[in-house]
C-alpha cells in the first residue's frame, strides 16, 4: 500500500490533507495576506514531509548494515545517539534545543527520558531502551504511560529504534497493550511512513495525532464547555462554601462567598490557558502527582503557589494577593473541582475550555445570582434572588445582546474609517457579567482586524491545530489590549458582577503568556446616583455610601 493510498492519509500531511473542507471555507473568508501565508506553509510542509522520508530511508539503510552482534553491543546511550535522535531529527525536531526536546525530565518519583515540546507545551514523553530490548515487557510500557499520565500528557512513546510504540496514557488500562495506538517495526518505517509522521514536529503543530486517534475512537474527544458545566460549577460552589465555612469562623458569609467566586474564576482562567495551549497542563499534573505521592503534601498550598506564579506572569487583578489564599480548608473540595474541570461526568469526554462560548460565564453568573449559599447545617445565609430583585439586577439573553450591539455599534462602525473606529467608546452602565461588552469587543475586534488585514481569533482557535503561533500574534495582542483598555467601559452595582465581567473580557483577550491589563475601566458603583457628599447626604441620609454612588467625573474623566 503506497503512502497516498493509506486509509488514514487525510490526517497525516499537515495543511494538505487535514480538514480540507474546513480549510476551503477558511480560505474563502481569508484576506489576501492570509491566503499567501497558507500556501507558503503548505509548500514548506510538503517539502518537510518528503525530506524526512529521504533522511529516514538513509537511516534505515545504515541500520540494516549492522550485524546482529553489533546491535547487541549497543547500550542505551549509543542507541539514542546513533538511531533514535537521528530519527526524530528527521521528523523535524531540534533535538539539540532543550526547550524543545528536554532529557531526563523529573516526573513525580522518577525521570522520563525525553519530553518533546512545542512553544513550551509538552506534546509527548518518550522512554528509550537499548537495542535490542523486549518492548513487549509490560514494565516498560507502564513506565512510559505512567510518566505521561502524571504530567497530564496524552501521548507516551516507547522505543529502542527497532520497535516504536505509541500509547494513549489517558486510558490507564490494566493491560498496557490495550493502550497502544501505533505499533511499528523499523522495517515498516517507510511503508507506514504516514503513521510515523504523526510524531513529527509539523504534524504535532497541526494536531494530526489527536485527530487521527479521535477518528478511530482511540482518543476521547473534548467536549465544548456547555450546560453541564453550569451544573458542575453550581455544585462546586456549594461544596466549596460548605467546606470553607466551618474551617474559617472568623470570616463573614459574604467574605467566604467572595473567596469562592475568586477561586473558581482563577481556575477557569487557568483551564482556558491550558486548552489554548498558552500554558502546559498545570492543575491536572498537580492533582495526579499529589495523589501519587500519597496525598501527603498540602494541595491547597500548592494551588496557592500556582496562583502566585500566574500573578507574576499575567500581573492581572484576578491573581493579585487575595484573602481567599488565607482561608483554611481540607483538600477534598479542591480535589473534586480540579478533577471535574477536565472530565465530563460519566466519562464521555473532556471539557474543552478553548471552545468556551462568550455567554457561558454570563449564564454561570445568572446562576450565581440565583444561588442560595448555605451553611453546613443547611440554613440559608445568602439569598441572592432577593438581593438581585432589590438591586434591580437582571440578565439579558445572548440573542438580544447580539441584536442590540449589531444595530448600534455595528451600524456605527459602517460609517467610520479606521482611525475614527479606534476612538469609539462603548459604555454599559449596568454591565452585569459583561455580555454587552463582550459582544462589543467581538464587533470591534473583527472590524479593526479587517481594516488592518489581520486575522481574528476565529482562524487561530477554530481548527488551525494545537500549538500554532501565527505570525500576527503580537499584532493581535496589541489590538485586543487597545480595545480592552481604550474602547470599553462598564459599571455595575454588584461587585461579583464586575469581577466576572473582567474575567470574561480577559478570556477574550488572552492568547499568549504575558502581562494583562487590570481592566480598571470596569468598575463597581450605582451608575444612577452621583453627586457631592453634601448632595448625597441630603438625599439619602448619613448612610449614603451604602448606595455606592458613582462619580462619573472622577471615575471616567476621559
pLDDT of residue 19: 42
Q: With beta carbons less than 8 A apart as the criterion, state whether 160 and 130 touch.
A: yes
pTM over 0.95: no
E strands in 215-371: 222-224, 350-352
Q: Which three cell numbers stand for residue 315?
A: 500581573
Conformation bin of residue 15: beta by default, left when phi > 0, alpha when psi is -120 to 50:
left
Question: Is the pLDDT assigned to residue 116 strictly greater than 90?
Answer: yes
CA dist., res. 143 & res. 124, Å (int): 14
Domain boundaries, the chain: 3-215, 222-356, 398-555
pLDDT of residue 67: 86
pLDDT of residue 219: 85
E strands in 85-220: 101-107, 110-118, 121-128, 155-159, 163-168, 180-185
Which whole number is the average pLDDT over 509-513? 83
Q: How confident is the model at residue 463 (pLDDT cuts 50, 70, 90)?
A: very low
pLDDT of residue 468: 38
Per the model's pLDDT, the better-predicted residue between 513 and 28 turns out to be: 513
Which whole number is the average pLDDT over 42-46? 67
Select from 469, 460, 506, 474 the least CA-distant residue to 120: 469
Q: What is the pLDDT of residues 266-285, one digit of tens each?
A: 999 999 999 888 999 999 99
CA dist., res. 178 & res. 497, Å (int): 48
Q: What is the pLDDT of residues 146-203, one digit of tens each?
A: 888 888 889 999 999 999 999 998 876 778 888 899 999 999 999 999 999 999 999 9
Question: Is the pLDDT assigned to residue 356 strictly greater than 70?
Answer: no
Question: Could you tell me the CA-to-CA distances from 53 to 59, 99, 116, 199, 347 in Å, in that order?
Answer: 10, 25, 20, 13, 39
Share of the chain above pLDDT 90, in %: 44
pLDDT of residue 20: 46
Q: What is the pLDDT of residues 515-549, one digit of tens each?
A: 888 899 999 999 989 888 888 888 888 889 888 89
Give the burial class of 4: count Cβ atoms within 10 A of its Cβ; 0-12 exposed, 13-18 middle, 19 or more buried.
Answer: exposed
Which whole number is the average pLDDT over 60-79? 88
The rounded mean pLDDT for the chain is 81
Q: How confident is the model at residue 25 (pLDDT cuts 50, 70, 90)?
A: low
CA dist., res. 108 & res. 114, Å (int): 15
CATH code, residues 3-215: 3.90.1570.30
Q: With beta carbons less than 8 A apart as the criterion, state whether 520 and 555 touch.
A: no
Q: Which helix (H) or strand (E) holds 380?
A: strand 380-383
CA dist., res. 201 & res. 216, Å (int): 22
pLDDT of residue 82: 93
Question: Is the pLDDT assigned to residue 142 strictly greater than 90?
Answer: no
pLDDT of residue 338: 96
Question: Is the pLDDT assigned to residue 14 strictly greater than 90?
Answer: no
pLDDT of residue 32: 60
Select from 331, 306, 329, 330 the least CA-distant residue to 319: 306
pLDDT of residue 71: 83
Q: With beta carbons less than 8 A apart as the criterion, state whether 125 and 114 touch.
A: yes
Which whole number is the average pLDDT over 59-72? 89
Which whole number is the average pLDDT over 328-353? 83
E strands in 228-268: none
Q: With beta carbons less than 8 A apart as the criterion, state whether 189 and 60 touch.
A: yes
Amino acid at each position: 500500500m503506497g503512502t497516498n493510498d493509506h486509509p488514514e492519509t487525510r490526517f497525516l500531511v499537515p495543511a494538505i490533507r487535514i480538514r480540507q473542507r474546513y480549510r476551503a471555507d477558511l480560505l474563502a473568508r481569508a484576506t489576501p495576506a492570509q491566503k499567501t501565508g497558507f500556501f507558503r506553509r503548505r509548500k514548506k510542509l510538503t517539502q518537510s514531509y518528503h525530506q524526512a522520508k529521504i533522511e529516514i530511508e538513509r537511516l534505515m539503510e545504515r541500520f540494516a548494515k549492522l550485524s546482529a552482534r553489533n546491535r547487541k553491543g549497543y547500550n542505551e546511550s549509543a542507541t539514542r545517539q546513533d538511531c533514535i535522535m537521528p530519527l526524530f531529527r528527521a521528523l523535524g525536531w531540534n533535538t539539540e534545543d532543550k526547550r524543545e526536546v528536554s532529557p531526563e525530565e523529573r516526573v513525580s518519583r522518577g525521570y522520563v527520558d525525553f519530553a518533546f515540546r512545542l512553544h513550551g507545551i509538552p506534546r509527548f514523553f518518550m522512554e528509550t531502551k537499548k537495542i535490542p530490548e523486549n518492548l513487549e515487557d509490560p514494565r516498560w510500557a507502564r513506565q512510559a504511560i505512567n510518566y505521561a499520565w502524571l504530567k497530564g500528557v496524552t501521548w507516551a512513546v516507547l522505543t529502542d529504534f527497532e520497535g516504536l510504540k505509541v500509547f494513549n496514557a489517558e486510558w490507564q488500562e490494566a493491560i498496557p497493550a490495550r493502550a497502544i495506538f501505533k505499533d511499528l517495526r523499523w522495517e515498516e518505517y517507510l511503508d507506514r511512513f504516514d503513521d510515523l509522521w504523526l510524531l513529527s514536529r509539523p504534524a504535532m503543530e497541526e494536531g494530526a495525532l489527536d485527530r487521527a486517534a479521535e477518528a478511530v475512537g482511540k482518543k476521547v474527544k473534548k467536549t465544548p464547555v456547555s450546560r453541564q458545566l453550569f451544573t458542575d460549577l453550581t455544585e462546586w460552589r456549594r461544596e466549596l462554601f460548605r467546606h470553607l465555612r466551618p474551617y474559617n469562623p472568623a470570616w463573614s458569609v459574604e467574605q467566604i462567598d467572595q473567596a469562592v467566586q475568586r477561586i473558581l474564576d482563577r481556575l477557569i482562567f487557568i483551564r482556558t490557558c491550558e486548552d489554548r495551549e498558552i500554558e502546559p497542563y498545570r492543575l491536572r499534573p498537580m492533582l495526579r502527582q499529589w495523589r501519587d505521592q500519597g496525598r501527603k503534601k498540602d494541595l491547597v498550598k500548592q494551588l496557592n503557589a500556582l496562583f502566585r506564579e500566574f500573578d507574576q506572569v499575567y500581573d492581572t487583578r484576578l491573581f493579585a494577593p487575595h484573602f481567599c489564599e488565607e482561608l483554611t480548608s481540607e483538600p477534598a473540595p479542591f480535589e473534586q473541582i480540579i478533577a471535574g474541570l477536565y472530565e465530563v461526568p460519566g466519562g464521555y469526554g473532556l471539557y474543552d475550555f478553548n471552545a468556551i462560548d462568550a455567554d457561558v460565564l454570563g449564564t454561570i453568573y445568572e446562576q450565581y445570582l440565583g444561588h442560595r449559599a448555605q451553611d453546613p447545617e443547611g440554613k440559608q445565609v445568602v439569598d441572592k434572588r432577593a438581593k438581585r430583585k432589590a438591586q434591580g439586577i437582571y440578565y439579558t439573553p445572548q440573542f438580544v445582546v447580539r441584536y442590540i450591539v449589531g444595530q448600534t455599534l455595528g451600524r456605527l462602525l459602517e460609517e467610520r474609517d479606521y482611525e475614527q473606529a479606534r476612538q469609539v467608546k462603548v459604555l454599559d452602565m449596568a454591565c452585569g457579567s459583561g455580555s454587552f461588552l463582550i459582544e462589543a469587543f467581538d464587533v470591534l475586534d473583527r472590524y479593526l482586524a479587517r481594516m488592518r488585514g489581520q486575522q481574528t481569533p476565529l482562524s487561530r482557535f477554530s481548527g488551525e491545530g494545537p500549538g500554532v503561533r501565527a505570525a500576527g500574534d503580537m499584532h493581535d495582542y496589541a489590538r485586543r489590549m487597545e480595545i480592552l483598555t481604550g474602547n470599553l467601559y462598564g459599571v455595575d452595582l454588584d461587585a461579583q458582577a464586575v469581577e466576572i465581567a473582567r474575567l470574561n473580557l480577559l478570556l477574550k483577550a488572552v492568547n499568549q503568556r504575558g502581562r494583562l491589563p487590570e481592566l480598571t475601566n470596569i468598575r463597581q458603583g450605582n451608575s444612577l446616583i452621583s453627586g457631592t457628599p453634601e448632595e448625597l447626604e441630603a438625599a439619602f441620609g448619613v448612610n449614603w455610601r451604602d448606595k455606592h454612588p458613582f462619580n462619573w467625573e472622577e471615575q471616567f474623566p476621559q
